[in-house]
Each structure stands twice: as structure tokens, then as C-alpha cells.
Structure 1
Amino acid sequence: MRILWWLIIVAVALGAFQTKAGEFPAVVEHALGQTVVPAEPERIVAMTNRDAETLLALGVVPVGIQSQLGFEGGVGPWAEPLLRDARPEVWLGMEINYEAVVAIAAFHPLRAGSAVATDR
């Protein structure tokens, strides 16, 4: 299941949607076939600071952020104003904290990096 979400996120980051922005269900083409995203994602977790800043630049405030750089607010001071009044759940460290993602009922983890292993 984790691989599926990573593939969706990478495909979205690469613009592999076959539908127009904002249309759902959306079909995402990727190396392992295609995935249907049935509805607009609502609760998104950023798996790195970079992912959080990408989401914030797009106007999406994540409900959780894994801060690999130790920022208590989840993002660097340059991106804090983009959080507005939101206070996402933040956890620190380099390892993905799957329990934290599940605990905040996030349905769409985002990892936009290109170094995603397909064997995990």
C-alpha cells in the first residue's frame, strides 16, 4: 500500500495526470500502470520539509509534517507564514514515522522526491 501512495505522489509531482486539474476521479499513469484517485485529497502529510514547502507553495496546508531538519513548526522560518494559523502535527527525524501518519488519520502522504524505492 505504501508503494502505491508513493507512486501516486511521484506521478502527481511529474504531471502524469490524464485529467484536468481539479477533476476527479483522476487517473495517474506511472511505471507500474495506472492509479485512480477517486476524490480530491483532503488530509495530506508531508514526509519531508521539502514536501511541506512544496504543498504550502501550492496553497495546501498539510495536517502533518516530518521535519528531517528539526524545525519545531515543521518548516523553516521562510515558510512559516504560509502555514497561516494552522498547527500541523510535527515529528522529527530521518525515518518515516508510519504510526504518526496513521494516528492523525492522514490519507495522502506526500513524498515528492525522485529517490523512492519501488521494492518497499
Structure 2
Amino acid sequence: MNAYARAAQNYSSVKVQSSVTDASPHRLVQMLFEGALERIAQAKGAMARKEIERKGELISKAINIVGGLLGSLNDKEGGELAANLDGVYDYIIRRLVQANYENNTEILDECGRLLAELKSAWDSIAVETR
């Protein structure tokens, strides 16, 4: 990695860290959705380029992010909604594992659609509360 690439990577890392530090809890969840969707899109590109190791890394990152969303659920206060989201996140994780194993872009697309729908619903919460 050349000096310019390292500098860009360091800048990006600092930018993300400061965004996380300054973000509200609602924004943090939005950032998780954005990160998962980005990793899925990148994994799809890696599949197309036959970059197997990179694809696996990106899908693993997406799985970890969805796992973070799953872990953030509050079963006591969330009730039925939290239980439903638990099932959806679990399903997405299992499908991402399958997509990785099968090199299946259609499964990645399905996971992306599900996460995009959830993100859209989450985004609308911010608009409704203003």
C-alpha cells in the first residue's frame, strides 16, 4: 500500500470514528444498516470479479453488522416487534452464510432488499419524531 492509500485509509477511519462518536443512538442504527448494505454490495462486486477471499471478508463483515443489529434488540421493551426483528436478522445472517458458500448473488440481493426495507422503516422514525 502506497503512502497516499494509507493516508486515505487513515482519513476514512478517523472520519468514521468521529461520526460514531457524535451520532445519536438512532443514527448509529442507521449507520449499521448502511454499513451492512455497503458490504453486501461490495461482496457482490467481489463475487463478480472472482475475488473469493475478499468476498468472504465482506460477507463476514455484513454478518457481524447484522449480528450487531440483532444484539441491539431489547426483548423486554420491544415485545413482538423485537421478536419479529430477531427472526428477520437471524434469517438474513443464515442467508448471507449460504450466499457465501454458494457464491450466489441472488441471495445477496435478497438480503440487501430486506435490509433496505428495514432501513427505510427505521429512517421514517426520525422523520416522524421531528
TM-score by length of 2: 0.28
Larger RCO (CA under 8 A, 6+ residues apart): 1
Structure with greater helix percent: 2
- Work out which of the two has the higher radius of gyration on C-alpha atoms and give 1 or 2: 2
User: TM-score, with normalisation over the residues of structure 1?
Assistant: 0.29
